[in-house]
Amino acid sequence: MYYLCQTTNSNVNNDLPSVIKTSLPTVLLLFMLSGRNQSDEGAPTAGRMQQKRNIQIIEWEDLDKRKFYSFGVFMTMTIRATVYPATLIRTRLQVQRGKSLYSGTFDAFFKILRAEGVRGLYRGFMVNTFTLISGQAYITTYELVRKYVSQYSEDNTVKSLVAGGSASLVAQSITVPIDVVSQQLMMQGQGEHLTRFRLNSNTETEKPKKVFGQTRNIMAQIFAADGFRGFYRGYVASLLTYIPNSAVWWPFYHFYAEQLSKLAPSDCPHLILQAMAGPLAAATASTVTNPMDVVRARVQVEGRTSVIETFRQLIKEEGFWGMTKGLSARIISSTPTAIVMVVGYETLKKLSLRPELVDSRHW
């Protein structure tokens, strides 16, 4: 059962940055109006790079795949280690009733640090590292689908939207079981009413004798209670969250980068513009999809079976602003994530270019 509390709009509204609230409709309108202008992607060239766009896009066929995957694993691991604490905080904020444990992102950070130490910010991280597999599946799917869609449309918005959504579908099919276990580990020590499964005392208080001892303990409990289906609890909610998020992020990323390139000096390094575009796209996508992210977190952690019922219950008990829970943590985590991901990914693609194309792109 939920903890019933009436949250005032002024308190919860602090969790939603004013710049996002005021500018999002304008940004969406500008994006829609300028979409056609961005689709003017040039005639065939070496590697079919986008020559008429201010910022050229390195496509799948331009890459040395061996380099791409070797560097990609390291990049993905680095990003996940960097932003994991913010992901943990976001999950705890979304699952708590009202503000029963934490009043906000920074309050949660300092309370966890005091009570559990640095290790507390990385609860469940080891099992989460298996999402490296889904990370590689994501970028492969994204690039291949872009290549496939380009046979039917040269509109970069269409290619980015379809490829982003498809990549998320594949990645979430791998990620959800890992997330289910990881989130249960994240919520340990937060009260029995917030999670269905508790670690046995010998794995929680003593040093595990086996690697992933706590993970195995939680997995065994999930399987005993729900069977194999328990590892895919919240799968539909995850798809409804991350497919739109990914489908929105990529078109807006290219849109913001292109608009910034029109304002910047011609000799400005493209990597700087892309690093600025990443967080803008992430903030836009996070704001649009946060309601489903709140529902997803509660379905997975509390063991609910109905996405619609969870949504109705949240609206009934916490009102519309309950849909913004964890948004500031999500944007805070997505900002460095987007910068690191964009710089890492664009650098990765540059380093992975086929030798004959290395000098063909302004960096």
Predicted confidence (pLDDT) per residue in 62-72, tens digit? 999 988 988 88
CB 296 within 8 A of CB 288: no
Q: Is 343 strand, coil or helix?
A: helix
- Residues facing residue 353 across a β-bridge: 63
For the segment 8-14, the average pLDDT, to the nearest whole number, is: 33
Given the candidates 1.10.10.10, 1.50.40.10, 3.30.56.10, 3.40.190.10, the CATH classification of the domain at 62-199+208-354 is: 1.50.40.10
What number of residues does the chain have? Answer: 363
- Residue 353 has φ and ψ, to the nearest 5°, of -60, 145
pLDDT computed for residue 124 by the predictor: 76
- pLDDT above 70 (res 22): no
Instruction: Label residue 329 by pLDDT band (50, 70, 90).
Output: confident
CB 334 within 8 A of CB 282: yes
CB 122 within 8 A of CB 85: yes
Most confident of the ranges 141-155, 281-295, 324-338: 141-155
**Residue 347: which residues within 8 A CB-CB, separation 6 or more?**
271
**Residue 74: which residues within 8 A CB-CB, separation 6 or more?**
none
Q: Is 110 strand, coil or helix?
A: helix
For the segment 280-284, the average pLDDT, to the nearest whole number, is: 92
Q: Could you tell me the residue ranges of all domains in the chain? A: 62-199+208-354
Most confident of the ranges 46-50, 96-100, 290-294: 290-294
Instruction: Label residue 307 by pLDDT band (50, 70, 90).
Output: confident
What letter represents residue 16's amino acid? L
CB 38 within 8 A of CB 30: no
Q: Could you tell me the sign of the dihedral formed by the alpha carbons of 130, 285, 302, 94, in that order?
A: positive
> Which residue stretches of 207-324 are H helix?
213-226, 235-263, 270-302, 307-318
Q: Which H/E stretch holds residue 360?
A: none
pLDDT computed for residue 276 by the predictor: 95
Paired tokens of 89: 């905080």
- Residue 189 has φ and ψ, to the nearest 5°, of 85, 5
Helix, strand, coil percentages in the chain from 3-state DSSP, rounded to 5: 75, 0, 25
Q: Could you say which DSSP state residue 8 is in?
A: -
More confident residue, 131 or 316: 316
Q: Is 353 strand, coil or helix?
A: strand
pLDDT computed for residue 202 by the predictor: 54
d(Cα 199, Cα 187) in Å, to the nearest integer? Answer: 11
3-state SS of 122-177 is CCCHHHHCCHHHHHHHHHHHHHHHHHHHCCCCCCHHHHHHHHHHHHHHHHHHHHHH
CB atoms under 10 Å from CB of 270, counted, come to: 19
CA angle at residue 170 from 289 to 178, to 5 degrees?
80
Paired tokens of 305: 């079976």
Best CA proximity match to 298, nearest among 84, 92, 85: 92
CB 98 within 8 A of CB 5: yes
pLDDT computed for residue 197 by the predictor: 67
pLDDT computed for residue 53 by the predictor: 55
For the segment 15-36, the average pLDDT, to the nearest whole number, is: 41
Q: Could you tell me the sign of the dihedral formed by the alpha carbons of 151, 258, 339, 353, in that order?
A: positive
The pLDDT tens digits for 231-262 are 888 788 788 888 998 999 999 999 999 999 99
Cα 345 from chain centroid (whole Å): 15
The pLDDT tens digits for 102-126 are 888 888 899 889 988 888 888 878 7
User: pTM of the prediction?
Assistant: 0.65
- pLDDT above 90 (res 161): yes
